[in-house]
Structure 1
Amino acid sequence: MTKTKILIIEDDAEISRLTAMYLEAEGFDTRIIDDGLAAQTAIKNYVPDLVILDLMLPGLSGIEICKQSRAFYCGPILILTACDDDVSEVSLLKLGADDFLTKPLKPHVLVARIEALMRRVTPTEVKQEKSKHSRLTIDLDRQTVTFDGAVLSLTGAEFEMLVLLNNSMGTPVSREDCCQALRGLEHDFNDRSIDMRISGLRKKIHDDQMPYKIITTVRNKGYMLLNG
């Protein structure tokens, strides 16, 4: 079985060493980059299944790496932040991150988040679905979406959110169901995270003005995809 490849972009040598050591003991293949300027080249050459990205890096910040890499990298990006970093979860989601953890890292939590993110992007998990929406084409093998014939640039979280809504088209999906499906965890719900992903999807399918015609909000029930 091919190992999941994880690129660790972190300039703290001790944190990156311990993180890589723990992940390799759990069966992952890892590579470490400690310079922000080398990050994009490393992503292109190593082609990781997942990126662990520190916000504070020499050369180029994690924020800029996240923004720029989304032009060519569709895999999950897990951000590492210090407790005093003045960057909100909303900002990270807008930049293209799929999840984040605060330092100091708890190894078992890190592995749980990685496994949850990888479940989202494993084609076999959602292989059976085809798009039910007349204006959407969802390619589950390639993890791509077209809307009215144009390819959408979605984060991994936005893609899986859209698949979830598509699977239940015409039926409201609760925020709790969204949190559980996206994170693979039954705890740590965050309504704001779900709302931001919905907001991102609406903008990309030009449905960000009320009344919403494609992804509607159903009061006290959640979100629903309409075939309109």
Structure 2
Amino acid sequence: MTAHAPTDHRILVIDDEVQIRRALRTILEARGYDVSCAESGAAAMRELTTQTPDLVVLDLSLPDTDGIELCEQMRTWLAAPILVLSVRSDETDKIAALETGADDYLTKPFSAGELVARVGALLRRAAGTTSAPPVLALNDLTIDIASHRVLRDGVEVTLTPIEFGILAVLAQNADRLVTWSQISDAVWGPDWLADVRTIRVHVSNLRKKIEVHPAVPRYILTEPGVGLRLTTR
């Protein structure tokens, strides 16, 4: 086999079959990629919180979770491309995977050449994109985007799905302005335009839970007439 120069790209393979994990590692490492593997959804989340990959190869049939659900969960914070690799060839599975955030879909069995070509194409298209850290630590506040957990002074804070959605989109864009319409699209979806007053009510409730002084917020700052900013300073 022809030797390939090492690359800076790290790939996470998520598959419950040890033979497939070994085969993928061999194929990808031969092309110079840095490969790590996970045999379950839980193991994948542990890997993801340790180091963010440049690309994920995901099998849909996992022992502890459905791959499509895991794909959707990862996509809440991970910007890296996701290549689904599955024995499921039904069109509905492909559509579901792509609609929940997968970038490409390859059916097993596959050829090494096609796998490498698709990985290379996805990495080229993703060049320059970055993922928000799965865990954002801000003094007394910890936002674990991957696990959907928020801690204040080490104590878990209970947030509603909308409150967490708002906080997650702000954390993904930490120190950057997020407009009201961007928050609406991210939390409620592009087909629903949330009223700014509605968002403000949820933000007010969120501040009461995570801010020491909600009336004088330290983290979630309002840019008058424009949107919100989560500051890390």
TM-score bucket of the superposed structures, by smaller chain: 0.5 to 0.7
Partner residue, 2:152? none
Which residue identity does 1:101 align to in structure 2? L
Which residue identity does 1:28 align to in structure 2? Y
Separation of aligned partners in 2, 1:204 and 1:146: 15
Matches within 5 A, 1:15-164: 15-84=20-89, 87-123=92-128, 150=182
Separation of aligned partners in 2, 1:94 and 1:102: 17
Partner residue, 1:128? none
SS at match of 2:109: coil
Separation of aligned partners in 1, 2:25 and 2:113: 13
Cα gap change, 1:100/1:146 in structure 2, threshold over 3 Å: closer, same or farther? farther
Which residue identity does 1:72 align to in structure 2? W
Cα gap change, 1:145/1:69 in structure 2, threshold over 3 Å: closer, same or farther? farther
TM-superposed CA distance for 1:77, in Å, is 0.5
SS at match of 1:204: coil
Q: TM-score, normalised by structure 2?
A: 0.53
TM-superposed CA distance for 1:150, in Å, is 2.5
Query: Contact 2:14–2:41 at 8 Å: present in 1 too?
Result: yes
Query: Contact 1:147–1:205 at 8 Å: present in 2 too?
Result: no
Separation of aligned partners in 2, 1:145 and 1:12: 43
Q: TM-score, normalised by structure 1?
A: 0.54
Which residue identity does 1:18 align to in structure 2? A
Cα gap change, 1:62/1:145 in structure 2, threshold over 3 Å: closer, same or farther? farther
Query: Contact 2:89–2:107 at 8 Å: present in 1 too?
Result: no
Query: Contact 2:88–2:107 at 8 Å: present in 1 too?
Result: yes
Please list every run of 5 or more consecutive structure 2 residues that lacks an aligned counterpart in the other structure.
Answer: 1-5, 130-173, 194-233
TM-superposed CA distance for 1:85, in Å, is 5.4
Please list every run of 5 or more consecutive structure 1 residues that lacks an aligned counterpart in the other structure.
Answer: 125-141, 154-202, 208-228
Separation of aligned partners in 1, 2:69 and 2:104: 16
Which residue identity does 2:52 align to in structure 1? V
- How many aligned positions are there? 141
Matches within 5 A, 1:170-189: none
Query: Contact 1:4–1:29 at 8 Å: present in 2 too?
Result: yes
TM-superposed CA distance for 1:68, in Å, is 1.1
- Structure 1 segments, 4+ long, off by >2 Å, are 83-89, 144-153, 203-207
The percent of aligned pairs where both chains have the same amino acid is: 38
SS at match of 1:44: helix
Which residue identity does 1:29 align to in structure 2? D
Supply the RMSD in Å over aligned alpha carbons: 2.9
SS at match of 1:150: helix
Which residue identity does 1:204 align to in structure 2? P
1:155-187 CA-to-partner distances (Å, cap 9, x unmatched) read: xxxxxxxxxxxxxxxxxxxxxxxxxxxxxxxxx
Separation of aligned partners in 2, 1:148 and 1:46: 31
* Rg comparison, structure with higher value: 2
Separation of aligned partners in 2, 1:146 and 1:101: 35
Partner residue, 1:129? none
Separation of aligned partners in 2, 1:13 and 1:51: 17
Separation of aligned partners in 2, 1:205 and 1:43: 31
SS at match of 1:56: coil
Cα gap change, 1:8/1:93 in structure 2, threshold over 3 Å: closer, same or farther? same
Cα gap change, 1:86/1:12 in structure 2, threshold over 3 Å: closer, same or farther? farther
